[in-house]
């Protein structure tokens, strides 16, 4: 039978206290999400927390599966690098492990009107208003998506293998995060810790662009410093593919915005929308074959129904790369300084912050933003 250390007991009491505080807030401030949504969110998260195991104890026991022990040992090194080299938060996050036994830890529902790229937003106590709603069970996510589809929305249900509590709790390492490459594990940890470092309530575009930049730059630096430089070219190729994919998405979104703003009939808009999306998929296939060596980095472009909701989802993660690249150059590639400058941008009024974030690379390179 496992015994709990004094530190573990203190940690458990802290988790319990925070859970009660969070539940009390939920009862008082329901936000614009349905009150019925919150119990599954709290119970789902607390079930994850209940299963956590101390990584150091697992490694010291000598009884862990060798493959798992290797992955956990690597996660410890990645977490140390995140703190020492990327100036990310030094807390209890990713010092514990959870075996979920699931394909995904949560499922996010994204929805947008049939003729609009503006996603529906849901408001929550901790994160503010965001363009998705997460569920710990696939059935709940699919039920909401079906209801929204019946009301005429384009919808998408997207699995997530990690999530951040934004510092409310020490986020554990999940088994869903260990099913990919070493680089991807590092990317997950850097991305989620970045959300703890800087988060603007209600601005998903800024938050995801910032965390995605920290993730990509962090993996690049980690590969160089950890004796994995031989893997760097493949990672850089993936980054370049991401840039080209972003350009394709922006081109597609521009075409759809023009179409949706036109005076065409709904039937004509529907046909035009299908044509634009088919053309985007054809151009994506051309990129795969001519630029990416046959590697389909973003397979969901083809394998799932592409619609306004999916375009809104991927745009949240791929936007703002030029702005943060310029900010990193301005910081002289110093991560601590970069975070400081990003914090200054985060403090701007929302319209000004968004204008900065969405500038093209050419405009930023001209120095007009500085």
Written as tens digits, the pLDDT of the chain (370 aa) is: 344 455 454 455 455 445 544 444 443 333 445 666 778 888 888 899 899 999 999 999 988 899 999 999 999 999 999 999 999 999 999 999 999 999 999 999 999 999 999 999 998 777 788 889 999 999 999 999 999 999 999 999 999 998 888 888 899 999 999 999 999 999 999 999 999 999 999 898 899 999 999 999 999 999 999 999 999 999 999 989 988 998 898 899 999 999 999 999 999 999 999 999 999 999 999 999 999 999 999 887 776 688 999 988 776 556 677 899 999 999 999 999 999 999 999 999 999 999 999 876 654 433 444 4
What interhelical angle do 321-330 and 204-225 show, nearest 10? 60
Q: Where are the beta strands (DSSP E) in 161-314?
A: 173-174
Residue 364: per-residue pLDDT: 46
The pTM for the full model equals 0.84
Give the start-end residues of each E strand in 140-182.
153-160, 173-174
DSSP at 160: E
**Per-residue pLDDT, 370:** 42
pLDDT confidence of residue 18:
52
In whole angstroms, give the CA distance from residue 99 to residue 268.
Answer: 50
Q: What is the pLDDT of residue 316?
A: 59
Give the pLDDT confidence score for residue 115 in this predicted structure: 98
Q: What is the pLDDT of residue 11?
A: 53
The pair of structure tokens assigned to 281 is 């998929």
Contact 219, 367 (CB under 8 A): no
pLDDT at position 239: 87
Distant-in-sequence, close-in-space partners of 287: CB < 8 Å, separation ≥ 6: 241, 244, 245, 248
β-bridge pairing 122-124 and 128-130: antiparallel
Which pLDDT does position 346 carry in this prediction? 98
E strands, the chain, are 53-54, 96-98, 106-113, 122-124, 128-130, 133-135, 153-160, 173-174
Length of the chain: 370
- The pLDDT of residue 366 is 37
Edge-to-edge strands, sheet with 53-54 = 53-54, 96-98, 173-174
Pair of tokens at residue 180? 């990919």
Give bridge partners of residue 129 from the DSSP assignment: 123
């Amino acid at each position: 039978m496992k015994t709990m250390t004094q530190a573990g007991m203190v940690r458990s009491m802290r988790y319990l206290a925070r859970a009660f505080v969070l539940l009390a807030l939920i009862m008082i401030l329901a936000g614009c999400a349905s009150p019925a949504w919150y119990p599954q969110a709290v119970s789902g998260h607390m079930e994850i927390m209940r299963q956590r195991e101390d990584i150091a104890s697992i490694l010291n026991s000598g009884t862990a599966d060798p493959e798992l022990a290797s992955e956990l040992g690597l996660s410890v090194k990645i977490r140390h690098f995140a703190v020492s080299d990327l100036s990310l938060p030094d807390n209890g996050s990713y010092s514990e492990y959870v075996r979920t036994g699931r394909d995904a830890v949560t499922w996010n529902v994204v929805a947008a009107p049939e003729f609009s790229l503006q996603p529906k937003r849901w408001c929550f106590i901790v994160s503010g208003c965001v363009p998705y709603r997460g569920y710990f069970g696939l059935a709940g996510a699919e039920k909401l998506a079906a209801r929204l589809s019946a009301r005429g929305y384009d919808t998408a249900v997207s699995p997530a293998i990690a999530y951040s509590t934004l510092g409310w709790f020490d986020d554990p390492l999940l088994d869903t995060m260990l099913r990919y490459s070493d680089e991807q594990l590092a990317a997950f940890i850097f991305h989620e810790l970045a959300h703890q470092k800087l988060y603007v309530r209600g601005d998903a575009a800024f938050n995801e662009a910032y965390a995605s930049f920290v993730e990509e730059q962090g993996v690049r630096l980690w590969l160089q410093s950890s004796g994995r430089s031989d893997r760097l070219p493949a990672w850089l190729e993936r980054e370049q593919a991401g840039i080209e994919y972003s350009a394709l998405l922006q081109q597609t979104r521009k075409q759809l915005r023009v179409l949706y703003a036109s005076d065409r009939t709904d039937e004509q808009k529907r046909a035009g929308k299908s044509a634009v999306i088919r053309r985007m998929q054809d151009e994506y296939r051309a990129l795969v074959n001519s630029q990416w060596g046959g590697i389909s980095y973003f397979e969901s472009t083809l394998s799932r129904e592409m619609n306004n909701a999916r375009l809104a989802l991927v745009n949240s993660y791929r936007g703002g790369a030029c702005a943060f690249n310029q900010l990193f150059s301005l910081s002289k590639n110093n991560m601590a300084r970069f975070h400081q400058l990003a914090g200054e941008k985060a403090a701007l009024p929302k319209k000004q912050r968004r204008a900065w974030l969405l500038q093209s690379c050419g405009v930023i390179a001209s120095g007009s933003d500085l």
